[in-house]
Structures are given as C-alpha cells and as structure tokens.
C-alpha cells in the first residue's frame, strides 16, 4: 500500500513538473502547451536514460552550488546597496482607517462613519466612481487579498510563470496520503 502511494505521489509530482516545464517552454518557444509538455517529457527521459542516477546526483550538486552562489551574491548585493528609506504609507481603500494623523493628512482623510474620532479613506476624493478608484491593497490586514483572483484554479493565471500551486494540487494530496500510510 505504501509503495503504491509513493509511486502515485511521484507520478503526480512528475506530471506537475512536466506541465510546469511545458508552460515555460510553450511561452519561450511560442509553441502549443501540449507540444511543449511532450518536448519536456522527451528531454527528461533522454537525460535520465543517458546519465542515470549519477547524472541526477551531479545535477543536484551543480544546482546546489548555483543556488548558494546566487543566495550569497544577493545577500552581499543587498547589504551593500541597502537604502534606509521605506515606501510611503498605504493610501488605503474604501472604509480603510488610517493608523495616524500624519497619514490621514497626507491622503486628505475624512472622519470615519462609525467612529468620528478616527480618520478614514476619503472615498469622495480617491474613488469618485466605481471604475476610477485609486487605492492599494498594501494595508494590513487587508493587504493579502488576491490580485489574481483565479490563481488557485487557473494554471496560466501567472503567465509566463507556471503556477506551481495548481500544477501540484494532486501531488499535495497524494503526498499527504502517502505520508499518512507510511506512518501507519
């Protein structure tokens, strides 16, 4: 039972990775997604047959070295080029309550409807009509609202980057059941 779950899990992982690689190749080479997935499968098969486990191990070492080099380069670059400035406060959105008087004055805030002692987003100024609003979602705790509403269901919502969350849904569930079976 555990072996079946593990095999199924890795097949789903392979399928998700092939679809992801296919999405990238389809975008880069301007070809159909199906053709790109088949091209990905052929490349993976040829690579595995040609080198076997040794090629996988050497590739992992090379990828780790490149990853560490990139991480260290980014860390040193970030430290060297650090700027002590912060972005301006959030302009907010309809019914957003400003955290302080300075931000309220900056964006011409108005007294809130429910609490006149607090200062809120000026809907009349920043949102004169439904399709002409000026706002941002950077305001805690509402800042994590989706900008791409279909990114959990549409594999191409973040094109040209493959949406790994969608591609690996099956893998997530199969791995969970495989791990559960392994613990029993």
**What pLDDT, in 10s, does the model give residues 46-72?**
888 888 777 777 777 888 888 889 889
Higher local confidence (pLDDT), 131 or 170? 131
Of the listed ranges 23-27, 109-113, 176-180, the least confidently predicted one is: 176-180
pLDDT confidence of residue 152: 62
Using the 8-state DSSP alphabet, how is residue 98 labeled?
A: P
Say what the pLDDT of residue 31 is: 92
Global pTM value: 0.38
> pLDDT category, 122, cuts 50, 70, 90?
confident
User: Average of pLDDT values for 148-154?
Assistant: 64
CA 90 – CA 102 distance, rounded (Å): 12
Percent pLDDT > 70 in the chain is 70
More confident site: 27 or 131 = 27
Does 102 have pLDDT greater than 80?
A: yes
Q: Give the chain's mean pLDDT.
A: 76
Q: What contacts 121, CB < 8 A, 6 or more positions away?
A: 91, 92, 93, 94, 95, 96, 97, 98, 107, 109, 110, 127, 135
pLDDT at 32 over 90: yes
Least confident of 7-11, 22-26, 126-130: 126-130
pLDDT of residue 72: 92
Identify the band that residue 145 occupies on the pLDDT scale cut at 50, 70 and 90: very low
Q: Tokens representing 170?
A: 């099956």
Q: Which residues contact 86 (CB under 8 A, 6 or more apart)?
A: none
For residue 52, what pLDDT is reported?
Answer: 75
CA 3, 9, 12, 17 torsion-angle sign = negative
Q: Does the pLDDT at position 147 exceed 60?
A: no
């Amino acid at each position: 039972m555990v072996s079946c779950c593990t095999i199924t899990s890795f097949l789903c992982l392979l399928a998700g990775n092939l679809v992801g690689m296919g999405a990238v190749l389809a975008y880069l080479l301007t070809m159909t997604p199906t053709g790109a997935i088949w091209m990905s499968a052929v490349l993976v098969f040829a690579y595995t047959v040609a080198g076997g486990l040794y090629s996988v191990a050497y590739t992992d070492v090379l990828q780790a070295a490149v990853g560490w080099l990139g991480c260290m380069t980014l860390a040193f670059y970030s430290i060297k080029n650090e700027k002590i400035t912060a972005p301006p406060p959030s302009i907010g959105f309809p019914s957003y309550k400003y955290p302080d008087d300075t931000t309220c004055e900056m964006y011409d805030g108005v007294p809130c409807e429910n609490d006149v002692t607090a200062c809120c987003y000026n809907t009349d100024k920043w949102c004169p009509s439904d399709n002409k609003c000026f706002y941002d979602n950077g305001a805690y705790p509402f800042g994590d609202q989706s900008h791409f509403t279909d990114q959990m269901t549409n594999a191409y919502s973040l094109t040209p980057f493959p949406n790994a969350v969608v591609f690996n849904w099956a893998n997530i569930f199969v791995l969970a059941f495989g791990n559960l079976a392994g613990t029993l």
